[in-house]
């Protein structure tokens, strides 16, 4: 796998029937075999993303734990977030990541010391497991204090938060071969970043759905 040192994969259920219900495809076995092939290569770091939902992953956490026993990947449980178009779905499916964290600690999982450049996931390891677990919990206290992510959309707008408004234009600077004005503009716009995403107040900003910004 020349040039590839990290892979992100989404698997929202390890039950083939549920996977098909979510994705519309019977591809779970193919994806799991692909992960095994990548691990056999010995080089890429693999993160598997799973959005916590009561009807799917939220009811069968144990299947993921069983898988991690012998699979050296980092499984990241991502707490479902409310957007402009999913109020009813959010109310029906939301699972609190903090509850999973409590259960992991009770079962002997230990926190991983994170690098300063690491993302907002809280990672845990267990001496009896080859895999790790990461929790991305946007509804947890002080979550935004740990966020170090920025996004630039295909239309050239800088989004300081997934749940900000309509983005801040970088179009002019992106069209230049000189990177200095772009760096200067981004640094100046960082001052507009809010202290919180306000999801607790059910304010989702201009984000109608996460696909608008790539998740």
Q: Which of 112, 142, 172 is the last residue of a domain?
A: 142
pTM as predicted: 0.77
The pLDDT of 67-87, averaged and rounded, is 87
Please give the DSSP secondary-structure letter assigned to residue 127.
T
Q: Do 28 and 72 share a domain, yes or no?
A: yes
One domain for residues 153 and 200: yes
We report the CATH number of the domain holding residue 26 as 3.20.20.70
160 and 66 both lie in a single domain? no
| The last residue of a domain, from among 117, 142, 167 | 142
Answer whether residue 92 is part of any domain: yes
Which whole-number Å values give the CA distances from 54 to 27, 31, 63, 78, 90, in the listed order? Answer: 22, 23, 14, 12, 10
Claim to verify: residue 122 and residue 194 sit in the same structural domain:
no
Average pLDDT taken over every residue of the chain: 83
Quote the number of domains for the chain: 2
Look up the domain containing 104 and give its range: 6-142
**At which of 100, 121, 142 does a domain end?**
142
pLDDT in tens, 91-144: 888 888 888 899 999 999 999 987 777 777 889 999 999 999 999 887 777 777
Among 208, 207, 188, 189, smallest CA distance to 197 is for: 207
Tell me: pLDDT of 187 over 70.
yes
More confident residue, 64 or 60: 64
19-50 tens-digit pLDDT: 998 889 999 999 999 999 989 877 678 999 99
For residue 168, name the pLDDT band (cuts at 50, 70, 90). confident
209: pLDDT strictly greater than 90 = no
Does some domain include residue 127? yes
Q: Using pLDDT thresholds of 50, 70 and 90, give the confidence band for residue 213.
A: low
Q: Is residue 21 part of a domain?
A: yes
| pLDDT reported for residue 9 | 93
Q: How far apart are CA 77 and CA 9, in angstroms?
A: 12
Q: Same structural domain for residues 118 and 188? A: no
Of 1 and 159, the one with more pLDDT: 159
Q: Residues 111, 77: one domain?
A: yes
Percent of the chain with pLDDT over 70: 85
Classify residue 1: in a domain, yes or no. Answer: no
Mean pLDDT confidence for 156-164: 79
d(CA 136, CA 142): 12
- Angle CA 39–4–48, to nearest 5: 50
Flag whether 25 is in a domain. yes
Contact 213, 159 (CB under 8 A): yes
């Amino acid at each position: 796998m020349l040039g590839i040192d990290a892979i992100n994969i989404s698997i929202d259920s390890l039950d083939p029937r549920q996977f098909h219900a979510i994705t519309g495809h019977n591809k779970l076995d193919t994806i799991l075999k692909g992960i095994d092939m990548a691990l056999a290569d010995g080089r890429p770091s693999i993160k598997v993303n799973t959005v916590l939902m009561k009807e799917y992953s939220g009811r069968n956490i144990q299947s993921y734990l069983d898988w991690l026993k012998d699979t050296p990947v980092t499984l990241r449980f991502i707490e479902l977030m409310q957007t402009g178009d999913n109020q009813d779905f959010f109310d029906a499916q939301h699972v609190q990541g903090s509850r999973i964290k409590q259960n992991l600690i009770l079962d002997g999982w230990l926190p991983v010391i994170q690098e300063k450049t690491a993302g907002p996931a809280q990672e845990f390891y267990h001496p009896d497991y080859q895999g790790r677990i990461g929790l991305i919990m946007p509804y947890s206290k002080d979550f935004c204090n740990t966020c170090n992510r920025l996004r630039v959309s295909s239309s050239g707008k800088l989004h300081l938060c997934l749940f900000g408004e309509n983005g801040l234009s970088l179009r002019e600077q992106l069209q230049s071969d000189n990177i200095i004005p772009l760096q200067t503009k981004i640094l100046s716009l960082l001052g507009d970043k809010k202290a919180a995403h306000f999801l607790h107040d059910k304010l989702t900003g201009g984000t109608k759905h996460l696909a608008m910004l790539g998740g």
